[in-house]
Structure 1
């Protein structure tokens, strides 16, 4: 399922012109921004491969809110969040904040998708970084999660979830807001 979803995401993103991609990411920001009003720390991610970018969302957060991004001390370390911007290569050569940037505990996390169903179950890249990080954050305080992705990443059928999988609270695409818990 993961390999099929990765291939579908790659093909979808490859078909986008730079102008259309920017337009769709702008529409995603329009869909998501009204849902960030109560958040203090909004965590996004530095997009890799064919992922939709959260940067137009992070660039538009309100005064008094702070943007955070994933940070890894090493390949086997638990993912943390540090104050944006992404300025140095992490263990997988994906840009991340400086190791000296303040560590933050986000109360809202924009989660990248490989695929997701409408119940909030997601497939990521398979390493479990987000599940472990969200579980750790939720031990201390509530954290609202919004999976963000292209339209083609939302599947109709259920995605099987393991007991350690952290379900999403909502999903957003450039065309749709999906509340996952009625």
Structure 2
């Protein structure tokens, strides 16, 4: 379904070990290209497969307030799993992205599942209007550009999710195509002090529980 990572013009592993920002920038270029190479038909099948993996292995607690995202730039589509979780009675929220130049702090607002009710946001996002009720998610399906099996998440570099992923009692689940994995054999992703490990990563092929797991991830269910 997904192809191996393309050979980059510059190897991220060749960047200086003491310059994690440079290594992250190289990985972003490589991983964005890999994600964009996924065919639309394969992406649709992957979204349904990832939904099934998540629901089978990582169902949120009954009282969880779930947050997802509106897919853009080829991201794995979380809408199938958000629809399923809403049907199970979970409130579902989407992020509201601040305008360019503002502090990189996301707000979350409830979404009833109707795409027509969403407003245009910065960076070609779609988001709930300001009239939608605010929400404090406890269980976040997080977009990403790359991940490794330690639970390291590589985002776009804006820092929008950092505050929420570090919140007390928040379970953060990375959602991505399998081709977005950075193998530990290649050194994995660089880790900086502000990086928050994910509780798990869900792809179209498997559920990955990090080798360095959280003491109490707050996730129910067994192996997929």
TM-score under structure 2 normalisation? Answer: 0.73
68, 86, 96: which one pairs with 2:127? 96
Equivalent residue for 1:129? 160
Equivalent residue for 2:59? 36
Q: SS of 1:9's equivalent?
A: helix
**Deviation sequence 1:113-145 (CA, Å, 0-9, x none):** 21100001111111111113323xx1xx31011
Instruction: Check the 8 A contact 1:80/1:133 in 2, yes or no.
Output: no
Equivalent residue for 1:151? 178
Equivalent residue for 1:178? 208
Instruction: Check the 8 A contact 1:81/1:105 in 2, yes or no.
Output: yes
Report deviation, 1:73.
4.0
**Deviation sequence 1:75-94 (CA, Å, 0-9, x none):** 32410111014600112231
Gaps of 5+ in 1: none
Whichever structure has more strand as a proportion of its residues is 1
**Deviation sequence 1:19-64 (CA, Å, 0-9, x none):** x322211110001123124152111000001100000000001433
Deviating above 2 A after TM superposition, structure 1's stretches of 4 or more consecutive aligned residues are 72-75, 132-135
TM-score under structure 1 normalisation? Answer: 0.89
Separation in 2, partners of 1:163, 1:28: 30
Cα RMSD of the aligned pairs, angstroms, is: 1.6
Gaps of 5+ in 2: 1-26, 215-224
Equivalent residue for 2:35? 9
Separation in 1, partners of 2:32, 2:83: 27
Q: SS of 1:155's equivalent?
A: coil
Equivalent residue for 2:47? 25
Count residues in correspondence.
174
Report deviation, 1:17.
4.2
Structure 1 or 2, whichever has the larger Rg, is 2
Report deviation, 1:65.
0.8
